[in-house]
Chains A and B, each alone.
Chain A
């Protein structure tokens, strides 16, 4: 299903949206999770959210009709599958790196 690696921004957005939250929450969450390394700028995040909604990986959470309220998003089942696929891919990268980089420590 996956064509290629997800961008770091998309990975952290999907990961954040396992819990429904609004845009600013995603920015803060990504920064906290990555220990301050990943800062999602508002323009980048807005573009990514629109794309992900269009792809059906995330969706808007109905907000009870309160006009002008911040939009909340949550991950969809499809989004979760993509996220898990990416997690597996990252695991493979990590494992192979561990095996070859730290291979000298390995006892067969």
Chain B
């Protein structure tokens, strides 16, 4: 039996998303396909799978990504689907603990990749917001709703950047003592 859940989770909370998907898998609902804010689950044995996600370095259909997916497959990782550059994976629990990254350096690189993406989205929204508000102002129109939405999204992204920055800083501090 399949079950679909709609849920809004932002990119900077990907670790919470991962934890939630793993909770579902532990209850016997394993992720089988993904869309934007949409999660499809299939019934499996409780705890049969572990879930992980990653922001890819390249686009999902890039040759480098295809090669990477092949490599993951060889290690027993099943690729569930992608949303923009986010990739969702699962692996059988019998194969051992499942993570995409196992050291601070690669975890940090991944976080920085996410930070840059969100900074880009924030920048785009800031530009769109200011531009729309300015144009409306020039035309003596009432306030631009689109402009306001863009600025709100920009503020949301800035909040995300701050949260990610804290995570990066914490890893950096640990890195001064441990590898």
The answer, yes or no, to whether B99 is at the interface (CB within 8 Å) is: yes
The answer, yes or no, to whether B100 is at the interface (CB within 8 Å) is: yes
Q: How far is the CB of A88 from chain B (nearest CB, A)?
A: 19
A residues less than 8 Å from B174 (CB atoms): none
Q: Of A36-44, A77-85, A89-97, A98-106, which stretch is located at the interface?
A: A36-44
Q: How many A-B residue pairs have CB under 8 A?
A: 52
Tally A residues with Cβ within 8 Å of B.
Answer: 21
Q: Considering only CB atoms, which chain B residue lies closest to A6 in the complex?
A: B179
Inter-chain contact B103/A9, CB cutoff 8 Å: yes
A: residues with CB less than 8 A from B are 5, 7-9, 22-24, 27, 39-48, 68, 70-71
Q: How far is the CB of B137 from chain A (nearest CB, A)?
A: 47
Contact of A39 (CB < 8 Å), options: B54, B96, B106, B110: B96
Query: Bound state CA distance, A72 and B68, in angstroms?
Result: 14
B residues less than 8 Å from A48 (CB atoms): 106
B: residues with CB less than 8 A from A are 54, 68, 70-72, 74-77, 96-103, 105-106, 109-110, 179
Q: Considering only CB atoms, which chain B residue lies closest to A39 in the complex?
A: B102
Q: Considering only CB atoms, which chain A residue lies closest to B89 in the complex?
A: A42
Inter-chain contact B102/A44, CB cutoff 8 Å: yes
Query: Bound state CA distance, A27 and B98, in angstroms?
Result: 12
B residues less than 8 Å from A39 (CB atoms): 96-97, 102
Q: 8 shortest A-B CB distances, which residue pairs?
A: A41-B102, A43-B100, A44-B106, A41-B99, A42-B75, A44-B102, A44-B101, A43-B101
Inter-chain contact A27/B75, CB cutoff 8 Å: yes
Query: Bound state CA distance, A47 and B106, in angstroms?
Result: 8
Query: Bound state CA distance, A47 and B64, in angstroms?
Result: 12
Q: How far is the CB of B177 from chain A (nearest CB, A)?
A: 13
